[in-house]
Amino acid sequence: MSVPSFSRLLGRPLPRSSAKDERLPNLEALPILSSDALSSVAYATEAALGILILGGSAALRLSLPITVAIIALITIVVLSYRQAISAYPKGGGSYVVARDNLGRNVGLVAAAALLIDYTLTAAVSLMAGTQALSSLQPSLLAYEVPIGLLLLVLVGWANLRGVREAGRVFSVPTYAFVVMIVLLTVAGLKDLTFHHGWTPDAPPLKAALEPIGLFLILRAFSSGCSAMTGIEAIANGVQVFREPAPVNARKTLLVMGVLLSVMFLAVSTLGFMYGVAPNPDITVLAQIGQRVFGDGSVLYWILQISTLLILVLAANTAFSGFPRLAAMLAEDYCLPMQMKLLGDRLVYQNGIGVLVTITALIIVICRGNTTVAVNLYALGVFTAFTLSQLGLVRRWWKLRGEGWRGRMAMNALGSLTTFVVLMVIVVSKFDEGAWTVVIAIPLLVWGLALIRRRYREIFTALALDHDGSSLKLVPRDPPTGHHAIVWVASMMQPSFEALRYACSFADSVTAVMVVQKEEDAGKLSQMWDRYAGTDTGALELVLLDSPYSSLLDPFCDFVMEEERRHPERTTTVVMPVAIPRDRLDVALLNQRARNLFEALSDDQSRVFSIVRYFVPRLASKGGSSPSGSMD
């Protein structure tokens, strides 16, 4: 499929000026950022009961105390992230909090844990939704992998079309699930009050496989804590909200926390009162629905279908969080800079593409079955919870503002609790696959740190020398009739060499840079004055604004306009290309000049000159980031 055809599938490009219009009101932001957390109501109670049943039927009575304890933890974490939003109004969540307060390396641990968690969230949610579909229609059991991949493509496509488009798609199923749980709760309470009575039914008799001890209770508690996955998404996605974004994000996070707690408590209470026990053939939520609505009733089917949809759409939380976190890491040069580029629809399409690819691999490897992946589900998120709250503890200790003792005490309690849960998950799930995440997080941290270190080496290798060298354009007599337009990605050695080469043959040289940030324009102008001087005559710098996210279109339009205005002269387009010597550099360097060459070659005959600059093999402990992007 050609690029234009693919672009049409995503919709018309959106100007950067409409970024604020792409932001969502609270009612649309809630489902797009909370579908993962709210969908956990469908399986969190069952996850806890699945562990308690190992202690026999009598152990199921502990489900309500465990639920209350988890709700208390949810409250602490929600309040903690509300404080994080106030402290970091541009978003960031665990990564930014840990990085700023505990150091960059600890921040990378939080980032690695979240990247893994987001990926598993997408995979587990889609596989769980596919299994729910095959439960309704057993003939689809053999097609779980292709169905899961199809659903993955649909969710990815909806997100590539933009935040508002995704919000519209995901709002209805999420709210439908919430409404059905509310109806289930109201109908269940009515039945308990007027018909059934408030005496709990005895669950089916099950023999104990292990004693009811502290470790069993802690394991059940940690399994039930799957209800907490996805809570951080709102703190990460503050800039999805309309202004005032921090205020709206805090309100929405509070609403999400209340909804999650009430729904979780309602399902656990109804399950306890009706004596529901885990059953491999039917979910706990479905058993409650049968008791309250009646097996085969319309409301029961709507409950099941809405559960199916929200399980599938829970993957959307990952599609919101993963690309934004990847963009933050790219801003810190811990991931390739391509990850921070906005697409035509003002979304981080490279991050979405990476998430689709990794999630597809997990679905294929797991053969559409959640058994393996679900054991790793909460490990990453509780690592992030713990580090985030530890970071806030240190922040309150350093700032010591009004009410700092209470805030620090709450975050200290939260970090201790989430750390205990994390250790329980690691110990109890280690042999069931948690060991892979325990190994993967340090490896990913090492990779992120390696990328950052290599970027610093590249910046040092490509930095302009401070030896007084400058650009000089010598007037020619007679004039050659040549004009050079030089693509300048940043004022670094490749661009400088291209400019120097253009000055060697052309009567006039125009250096062109497309800027998306005002601060980049200011930095480039200062460096231009330093190396080219303020009175350059036929050597000029042109800064182009890009109304859209594309950097290529403004440059191509400029070249064509110059050719139209000056048909009498020969125009040479000079493009610097950084040639990497190491394999890692291929992924790190933006090879946008090649894309420019292809775009301008398709239009008409032109003269091109590509200046190749080989990146030196240089290791350095220093280096500063450039203005613009590297080519």
Torsions phi, psi for 512 (to 5 deg): -120, 130
Q: How far is it, in rounded angstroms, from Cα 228 to Cα 2?
A: 42
Question: What digits encode the pLDDT tens for the residues 588-627?
Answer: 776 677 777 777 776 666 788 888 888 876 554 445 555 5
Q: What is the pLDDT of residue 367?
A: 79
3-state SS string over 403-444? CHHHHHHHHHHHHHHHHHHHHHHHHHHHHHCHHHHHHHHHHH
Alpha helix segments (H runs only) across 400-551: 404-429, 434-462, 493-503, 518-532
Identify whether 478 is preceded by a cis peptide bond (ω within 30 of 0). Answer: yes
Distances (CA, A) of 593 to 163, 331, 520, 611: 30, 21, 19, 10
Contacts of 225 (CB under 8 A, 6+ apart): 44, 70, 73, 378, 382, 421, 425
Q: Which helix (H) or strand (E) holds 558?
A: helix 552-565
**Confidence bin at 437 (pLDDT 50/70/90):** confident
Close Cβ partners of 131 (under 8 Å, ≥ 6 residues apart) = 144, 368, 369, 370
Question: Is pLDDT above 70 for 346?
Answer: no
| Tokens 């009739």 found at | 481
Q: Which contiguous run of DSSP H or E holds residue 607?
A: strand 607-614
CA distances from 235 to 29, 96, 327, 454 (A): 12, 10, 15, 30
Higher pLDDT, 178 or 81: 178
Cβ-contact 76, 406 below 8 angstroms: no
- CA 90 to CA 437: how far, in whole Å? 29
Q: Which residue has the tokens 């309309």?
A: 242
Output the six-digit token pair for 122. Answer: 């997408």
Structural tokens at position 517: 């940030």
Q: Which residues pair with 576 in a beta bridge?
A: 611
pLDDT at 178: 95
Least confident of 89-93, 220-224, 247-251, 486-490: 89-93
CB 342 within 8 A of CB 348: yes
CATH code given to domain 482-614: 3.40.50.620
Pair 60, 52: CB distance under 8 Å: yes
Distance in angstroms (rounded) separating the CA atoms of residues 103 and 391: 9
The topology under which CATH files domain 18-427 is Amino acid/polyamine transporter I (1.20.1740)
DSSP state of 192: I
Q: Which two tokens stand for residue 543?
A: 């800064």
Indicate if the pLDDT at residue 7 is higher than 90.
no
Residue whose structure tokens are 């909090």: 97
Looking at residue 473, its pLDDT comes to 75
CA proximity to 550, closest of 349, 329, 298:
349
Round to whole Å and give the CA distance between 322 and 628: 24
Work out the angle between the directed axes of helices 104-136 and 298-313 (0-180°, nearest 10): 150
Q: What is the pLDDT of residues 155-174, one digit of tens each?
A: 888 888 765 555 666 688 88
Among candidates 486, 538, 544, which has minimal Cα distance to 507?
A: 538
Rg of the chain over CA atoms, in angstroms? 28
H-helix or E-strand spanning residue 364:
helix 349-365
The pLDDT value recorded for residue 125 is 84
Residue of 399 and 180 predicted with greater confidence: 180
38-42, 65-69, 319-323, 388-392 — most confident range = 65-69
> Cis (ω within 30 of 0) for the bond into 616?
no
Hey, which residues does 542 pair with through a beta bridge?
A: 512
Tell me how crowded residue 175 is: count the other CB atoms within 10 A of its CB: 16
**What is the band of 1 on the pLDDT scale with cuts at 50, 70, 90?**
very low
AA identity, residue 548? Y
Phi, psi angle pair for 145, to nearest 5°:
-65, -50
Structure tokens at 167: 């919000």
pLDDT band at 74 (very low <50, low <70, confident <90, very high): very high
User: Is pLDDT at 186 greater than 90 in this prediction?
Assistant: yes
CA distance 169 to 312: 12
pLDDT, mean of residues 491-497: 85
Q: Which residues lie closer than 8 Å to 78 by C-beta, 6 or more apart?
A: 231, 253, 254, 256, 257
Q: What residue type is assigned to position 280 of the chain?
A: P
Supply angle C-alpha 35, 274, 198, rounded to 5: 110
The maximal CA–CA distance of the chain, rounded, in angstroms, is 104
Residue 515: DSSP 8-state: E
Domain ranges of the chain: 18-427, 482-614
How far apart, in Å, are the Cα atoms of 340 and each of 30, 37, 349, 414? 24, 26, 9, 32
Is 80 exceeded by the pLDDT of residue 372?
no
Which of 108-112, 161-165, 341-345, 509-513 is the least confident region? 161-165
Give the pTM.
0.81
Backbone angles phi and psi of 558, in degrees to 5: -65, -45
Rounded to an integer, what distance in angstroms lies between the CA atom of residue 92 and that of residue 98? 10
Considering only residues 417 and 6, tell me which one the structure prediction assigns the higher pLDDT.
417
Per-residue pLDDT, 439: 92
C-alpha separations of 349 from 70, 344, 358 in Å: 36, 9, 14
CB 490 within 8 A of CB 528: no
